[in-house]
Structure 1
Amino acid sequence: MTSPLGVILAGGLATRMGGGDKGALMLGGRCLFDRAADRLGLQVAGLAINANGAPGRLVEFGLPILADSVPGYPGPLAGVLAGLDWAAARGAGSIVTVAVDTPFFPFDLAERLQRGAQRAGTQIAIAATEEEGRLRRQPVFALWPVALRGDLRSALEQGVRKVSYWADSHGAASVLFASEGFFNINTPEDLAQAEAMLPEAER
């Protein structure tokens, strides 16, 4: 398997955290950008950050900063499109996306998504968890093919915003993971809980 590129999605407005860059929040003495880059960087052939606003504020991370090409903060699909355009310029065939506010995502995310897509014979694979006996997708943790970027651009221009809706129009596979890896930080209380979840060695 050829390793995909990786894109950290951080283009949201973080309204429940009071605005600003959620990736700049500190967890165990390290910011969420650093944690996501370290964890995803082990799994992919190159990294970028999808973020809007002045890119200079993120220069310290030494990664390409990809702004949405669709105006109005249309959601995660715009970040996926930005990542696919970047990957296309680098001659890559696919990307794996993660959310910056989910610091414990699996270390084998990319590999398992690729294998899941291969088994299902599809180009898109989305992480999922089982909760109360039901499958729940984690739609921004996914494998996306560069070949579909034109279709995604058209869908966004037509008003499509729901990740799963567009993904399912291309037969997306679901790949099951343990739910613990997808705890996400939306509020100050969530951040405190994430601190409690850190391994002792990281505190």
Structure 2
Amino acid sequence: MRVLGIDPGLTRCGIGVVDVSSTRTPVLVHVSVITTSPDLPLEERLLLVARGIEAVLDEHRPDSVAVERVFAQHNVRTVMGTAQVSGVALLAAARRSLPVGLHTPSEVKAAITGYGQADKKQVGAMVAKVLRLAAVPKPADAADALALAICHAWRVPLGSAVTGATSGSTRPRASVDPSQLTPAQLAWRAAEQGAVAARPAHKLAR
């Protein structure tokens, strides 16, 4: 399954394409950021973003598209630009009869890190880990787009135990069935367990 993730933004629009196998192992196909100048008229900026998205759609031919769901922010101007770019992305996908998934930032964070309140640094680190990249994709918009694509491919109904584990905790609780976790959540658990095992015994005893 090939998924195009779009982190909508008028100045920077993150683009990420991943292939995800039947074992849910993601592989990087493409990552980039479409940029537009604030000095340009709004309609020209939207046209540049539309052309960039359409070029990626035509070159990489994804099976589906994942877009970050727009939500209210204090900065109305920012959310308006985000909403306008989201509309451009949805239109481009609809023209190609591609299914679209809308995901909130907390849903993406939970799928990628196992924690719905993870910061951008944690998300970027886990994106690099699951895609086996030598470095975190830059800027953050690029990593966010890849996270969206991975989240969309991995998105499955989670049991109440998993849902509870991703609220207010950076790791799954012991009662969570490992078979219900995404590969990234398993990687997060393994990384934290490895960090605990590496600590000196006198520190663990505190």
TM-score by length of structure 1 reads: 0.30
Bigger Rg, structure 1 or 2: 2
Report the structure, 1 or 2, having the larger strand content. 1
Report the structure, 1 or 2, having the larger helix content. 2
